[in-house]
A = this chain, B = another copy of it.
Amino acid sequence: MGEEAKVEVLPEEFDPKGIQGPIGPESNGVEVVLGRNVHKMCLSIQEPETDEEVTGEREAYMASVLARYRKSLVERTQHHLGYPLNLDFDYGALVQLQHFSINNLGDPFIESNYGVHSREFEVGVLDWFARLWELEKNEYWGYITNCGTEGNLHGILVGREVFPDGILYASMESHYSVFKAARMYRMECVQINTLVSGEIDCADFLEKLLLNKEKPAIVNVNIGTTVKGAVDDLDRVIKTLEEAGYKDRFYIHCDGALFGLMMPFVKQAPKVTFKKPIDSVSVSGHKFVGCPMPCGVQITRLKHINDFSRNVEYLASRDATIMGSRNGHGPIFLWYTLNRKGYKGFQKEVQKCLRNAHYLKDRLREAKISAMLNELSSTVVFERPKDEGFIRRWQLACQGNIAHVVVMPNVSIKKLDNFLKELVQERANWYQDEKIQSPCVAADIGKENCICVVHKN
């Protein structure tokens, strides 16, 4: 070495446990209830011993934690119904890649000197989606995001850069990330009412557009809302904008989180296509496709990004993505599944999901349980189960008096039957006392779908 390093590192005898407070098992599971920092569950980090025998014990401890965790994941995956995630995947062939730090730094179309990336897979996936949404290869730009939220954040940001004084319009049942974006970006935001189905109410939209005619419109269109799976009528949204005289002073972002990938396979669904005057579409990759970690796809018109990037370059930023470092494994998972299943594979799975969703809704109604299923959706909305333990067990997402099951490709008739059987049995207990009634959900899903004591048919 020849020369001593000039920087002195901390001495060997430095005691990390001495810094502050206890470390180790005693801090496990301690509940600190203050504000939002609630330590209900915590696997704390324990400083390894230098003694090799103890190191062996440590390895055994860690292996046992992981084994228990794996077991709980199996159980939780089995009883999962409420979130739109396809848990049915097998990426065994890709396990070999976990040894690499794959990072698609910045723009997928700009080469970086960092060589451990998966841009060639990413661009293949993006091409597939651009074709799905009918945007020419040389007219689109996009990237694989960390999740649906990043897609919304990006689409709305591009909209704001195109129309700096534009007002963001979004229906009340839009995903909360849309309103988060408005706040982050300091945009004026106008909420639009929804119909009982969860769709945007275009009459209200027209009224609100007419109130703000001096400013351009940036519109979030839901291709499947989070709670009810409602699909906003894109054609009517466009017609409403034209009626209100916005001509080309609007930017449309389609939040296709879940259904953006299912709808192209449903014949009478309003088509999401760049042949219509839309500007960006985002979709989640981990939902319908299925992926070990969240990811998403964001596609927009190249011309917007060229404008956007000129501004960004001025600030010495190198790319037009939201995140700089990007997970390079996501694109490979998507590439793998798209290649294996293809259009036809997805088509079959969509068909299955829609059939099973109808099956679930019909069985619920037969059991006199209030339920609704939107025409283009596989999200079955129904009366919220009375017992929180039951909700947690089946991992149902709830809002007020309603809950939902999102029927994904891994949700089989058998799984639904198990769920129905348990629900019907438990429900008999919850409501055995006649004084306790099941909730009225007419306000949430319409009188015609409610079977409460007042509305029962």
* A37–B93 touching, CB < 8 Å: no
Residue of B nearest to A125 (CB): B45
Q: Looking at the assembled complex, report how far the CB atom of A440 sits from the nearest CB atom of chain B, in whole angstroms.
A: 23
Number of copies: 2
* A266–B10 touching, CB < 8 Å: yes
CB contact under 8 A between A95 and B98, given known A41-B119, A44-B124: yes
Set B2, B16, B102, B294: member contacting A342, Cβ < 8 A: B16
Residues of A162-181 whose CB lies within 8 A of B: 175-177, 179-180
* Interface 0/1 of A146-188, CB less than 8 Å to B: 1111100100010000000000000000011101101111100
Residues of chain A at interface, number, CB under 8 A: 169
Interface presence of A424 (CB below 8 A)? no
List B contacts of A134 (CB < 8 A).
19-20
CB contact under 8 A between A14 and B45, given known A6-B358, A102-B292, A336-B62: no
Set B98, B136, B139: member contacting A91, Cβ < 8 A: B98
Among A232-240, A348-356, A449-457, the stretch in contact with B: A348-356
Set B2, B11, B123, B309: member contacting A42, Cβ < 8 A: B123
* A323–B146 touching, CB < 8 Å: yes
Residues of A91-126 whose CB lies within 8 A of B: 91, 93-103, 105, 107, 109-111, 113-116, 118-121, 123-125
Q: 13 A-B residue contacts at CB 8 Å?
A: A7-B375, A12-B347, A37-B140, A43-B120, A44-B128, A47-B344, A69-B97, A87-B101, A95-B95, A99-B292, A180-B312, A185-B186, A293-B293
